[in-house]
Amino acid sequence: MAATSPASSVPARLGSVRGWQEDLYRDLHRHPELSHHERRTAAKIAERLGRTGCQVHQGVGGTGVVGVLRNGDGPTVLLRADMDALPVREATGLPYASTDTVTDPGGREIPVAHACGHDVHVTCLLGAAQLLAEGTDRWRGTVVALFQPAEETGDGARAMLDDGLAELIPGPDVALAQHVLPAPAGHVGTHAGPVLSAADSVRVTVHGRGAHGSMPQAAVDPVVLAAMIVIRLQTIVSRETPPGETSVVTVGSVQAGTKSNVIPDHAVLELNIRTYGERTRSAILDAVRRIVIAECQASDCPKAPEIELFDRFPLTDNDPVTTGRVAAAFGEFFGDRAGPLGRQTASEDFSDIPNALGVPYTYWGIGGIDPETYATAEAAGRVAQDIPVNHSAAFAPVPQPTLDTGTQALVVAALAWLAR
C-alpha cells in the first residue's frame, strides 16, 4: 500500500471508533430484532449517524435508516448494511449472547438471535461513516450509508424503494455491500459475476383422503405421496440440471397428520430453490410443478395440488468492472489477506436497490471466525464439522479483527471512487 494512498491513514484512525464499535456490537448482539421490527436497532443507528454530521432519514420502508454525508462535488457512493435477526435460539455460550424472545402472530414465544452477523454489518458501516466524516480532507463527493431492514424475509430492500428511497437520496454512481462469512477473520474476498444465488421458496399442499390407520385401503395417503415427491425432487439437480450448473433444491419442511393411527387428508411441503440463471431457475420450477402434479395423479388424489411461490430473492450479479476496482483497492490495502470469494449459495435482496436505481454494484465477503480456530479445523479436515455457519445457533463472529476488517473494507472500497 502506497504511503500516499488516501486509505493509508485508515489503520491509524481505527482507534477513534474501535472502543464504541466493540461495545455497540455486543449490545446489538445481545438485543436482536426480527425483520420489520428493528426499532431499537434503528434508534441506535440514527443516534450514532447524527454524531457524524450525516443528514439522517428514519423510518424508510418501515424501520430503515439512511445517512447522507456530503463533502463537495464528486461521485456518490451507496454503502449498505442489513440489520435484522433470526428466530433462532442462540447456543454460543458468549457472555453477551441473546436470551431475547418475542411473541409471534400465533401467540407462540420464539427466540431471537443475530445468527447471521447483521450486527457486524451495522457496526462496521457506522464505523466507516465516522472515519469518512473525520477524513474529509482525503475525499470528495457524497456517501449514502443505508441501513436496510428485513433482509431475512427478502422484502426490506423493496420496502425502502417503495417508500421513496430514490427521491430521498442523491443518485448513486455505485452501490457496495458486504457480508460476514464463516472464514478466517481479517480476510476479504471478491467475486465478479453471479456471486449469490437467486432463491425461490415453494409451498406445496397435496390432498389425499383421510382414514383410520388400520384401513389404509380406504385412504389416499398424503404422507406416502409426500415421501415420493421428496425422493423424486432429488433427481432435478442430479438428472435434469447440466453438470457444472450450480443449483440446489432443498425440502426444508414436511407437515402432515396429528396422530399415529390416523391417516391425514393432506400434507404440506416447503421447498427452497437456489439458482444462478433465469433459464435454470425456470427449468427447475417447471420440474417441481411437473413432478408434484404427476405424483398426485399417480396416487389418484381427489383434488389437484396447490403450488405457491413465496420469499423470493433476486440474483446477486456483481458488475465485473466495479468488482475489479474494489478488488484492486483491497489488494493494495490488505495484501495477501485479500483474495477470491467464489460463488455462494446463500441469497440476498441487496441487489434490488442498485437494480432499481440503475447503478452497478459489487458485494464482497469478510471472514468472522477466529483465525487459529479456523486453521486448526482446516488442518484436521473438519471445517464443515467444527466451524459454525451463518444461521447456525452457534454462529457468532469474533469482534476482532472482524470489526476492524469490515470497517476498513467499506472505507477502502468507497475511496476507490471518492479519493481526491
User: What pLDDT, on a 0 to 100 scale, did the predictor assign at position 106?
Assistant: 85
pLDDT at 12 (0 to 100) = 65
Cα–Cα distance list, 412 to 333, 351, 397 (Å): 8, 21, 21
Beta-ladder partners of 78: 144, 175
| Spatial distance between the Cα atoms of 213 and 51, rounded to a whole number of angstroms | 67
401, 396, 404: which is closest to 94 by C-alpha? 396
Q: State whether residue 317 is helix, strand or coil.
A: strand
Sheet strands (E) in 372-419: none
At residue 3, the pLDDT reads: 43
**Residue 420 pLDDT:** 82
Q: Where are the domains of the chain?
A: 6-195+315-418, 198-313
Q: Give the dihedral sign, CA 396/401/404/410.
A: negative
Please tell us whether the domain made up of 198-313 is placed in CATH 3.30.70.360.
yes
Torsion of CA 90, 387, 312, 109, to 10 degrees: -10
Inter-residue contact 347 to 246 (CB < 8 Å): no
Q: Grid coordinates standing for 94? A: 458468549
The answer to whether residues 131 and 16 touch, using CB atoms and an 8 Å cutoff, is: yes
| Amino acid type, 237 | V
What CA dihedral angle connects 102, 103, 108 and 114, to 10 degrees? -30
Is the domain 6-195+315-418 a CATH 3.40.630.10 member? yes
Q: Give me the tens of pLDDT residue by residue for the chain, a chain 420 residues long.
A: 444 567 776 766 888 899 999 999 999 999 999 999 999 999 999 999 999 999 999 999 999 999 999 999 999 999 999 999 999 999 999 999 999 999 988 899 999 999 999 999 999 999 999 999 999 999 999 999 999 999 999 999 999 999 999 999 999 999 999 999 999 999 999 999 999 999 999 999 999 999 999 999 999 999 999 999 999 999 999 999 999 899 999 999 999 999 999 999 999 999 999 999 999 999 999 999 999 999 999 999 999 999 999 989 999 999 999 999 999 999 999 999 999 999 998 999 999 999 999 999 999 999 999 999 999 999 999 999 999 999 999 999 999 999 999 999 999 999 999 988
Within 8 A by CB and 6+ apart from 301, the residues are 206, 207, 208, 220, 225
Show the cell assigned to 55.
443528514
Measured distance CA(286)–CA(233) in Å, rounded: 12
CB < 8 Å & 24+ apart, contacts of 286-290: 287/236, 287/240, 288/202, 288/204, 288/233, 288/236, 288/249
Does 6-195+315-418 match 198-313 in CATH topology? no
Distances (CA, A) of 21 to 52, 72, 87, 257, 399: 14, 28, 25, 49, 9
Three-state secondary-structure class, residue 383: helix
Q: List Cβ neighbours of 346 (8 Å cut-off, separation of 6 or more).
A: 179, 196, 197, 390
Whether the predicted model's global pTM rises above the 0.75 cut: yes
Tell me what pLDDT residue 4 has: 56
Least Cα distance to 50 among 68, 32, 27 occurs for 68
Give the span between the Cα atoms of 122 and 22, in whole angstroms.
Answer: 12
Q: Residues with Cβ < 8 Å from 238, sequence gap 6 or more?
A: none
* Max Cα distance, the chain (Å): 82
| CA gap 54, 299 in Å, rounded | 62
Tell me which residue of 137, 144, 140 sits closest to 72, measured CA to CA: 140
| Burial environment of residue 418 by CB neighbours within 10 A (0 to 12, 13 to 18, 19 or more) | buried
Cell 466495479 belongs to residue: 322
What pLDDT score does 2 carry? Answer: 43
